């Protein structure tokens, strides 16, 4: 059975596990194992998870199959650096485990995230996507995001990745 729900600080250890597993699966062959390990060690800590899960402006939602988490999203209620009329919230991450790709888990998470942005009273969802990540870009194109302009430079170990800010109305 599949279910989806908002999670809080009690989920910190499971979030770290999902962060690491989904990142390694998504970027295997894109970044070297050393760079992936460096990124995971620097970013996917229990402290970071607890900070995100206890931040009033951040919502984390996980999808479960038979009680086990298989994917998540993290949404932050803050405006896009490129002004959008009606206000916006950032989809910081949306990931599912590789064995669940194509299962509908991503669709359920994405619909929930759109509802949450409307719940915040914002008109837009925005995000930054790496220019290298063609699979993610295809996913966002399919989900009606439009490119707005350049985003931050992401660092994955020694790799430097330019990014593009994309947004869609909710």
Tokens of 79: 């405006």
Alpha helices in the chain (DSSP H): 12-27, 33-43, 46-53, 105-120, 134-142
The answer to whether residues 100 and 28 touch, using CB atoms and an 8 Å cutoff, is: no
Number of residues near ligand COA (by CB under 6 A)? 19
| Cα 67-71-77 angle, rounded to 5 deg | 120
Under rule CB under 6 A, residue 160 binds ligand COA: no
Residue from 95, 120, 124, 126 binding ligand COA (CB under 6 A): 95
Local structure of 119: helix, strand or coil: helix
Under rule CB under 6 A, residue 118 binds ligand COA: no
Under rule CB under 6 A, residue 99 binds ligand COA: no
Site string for ligand COA, 25-54 (x = CB under 6 A): -x----------------------------
DSSP state of 31: B
Under rule CB under 6 A, residue 156 binds ligand COA: no
- Which residue's CB atom is positioned nearest to ligand COA? 106
Tokens of 6: 């908002």
Residue from 106, 128, 156, 165 binding ligand COA (CB under 6 A): 106
Residues 121, 95: Cα–Cα separation, whole Å: 24
Under rule CB under 6 A, residue 86 binds ligand COA: no
Contact residues: ligand COA, CB under 6 A: 22, 26, 93-96, 100-107, 135-136, 138-139, 142
């Amino acid at each position: 059975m599949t279910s989806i729900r908002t999670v809080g600080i009690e989920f910190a250890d499971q979030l770290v596990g999902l962060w690491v597993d989904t990142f390694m699966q998504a970027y295997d062959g894109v970044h070297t194992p050393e760079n992936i390990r460096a990124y995971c060690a620097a970013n996917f800590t229990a402290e970071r998870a607890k900070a995100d899960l206890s931040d009033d402006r951040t919502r984390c939602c996980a999808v479960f199959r038979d009680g086990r988490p298989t994917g998540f999203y993290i949404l932050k209620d803050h405006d896009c650096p490129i002004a959008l009329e009606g206000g916006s919230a950032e989809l910081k991450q949306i990931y599912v485990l590789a064995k669940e790709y194509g299962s509908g888990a991503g669709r359920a998470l994405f619909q929930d995230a759109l509802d949450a942005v409307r719940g915040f009273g914002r008109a837009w969802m925005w995000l930054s996507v790496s220019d290298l990540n063609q699979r993610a870009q295809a996913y966002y194109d399919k989900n009606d995001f439009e490119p707005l302009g350049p985003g931050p430079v992401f660092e994955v170990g020694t790799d430097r990745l330019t990014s593009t800010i994309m947004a869609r109305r909710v």
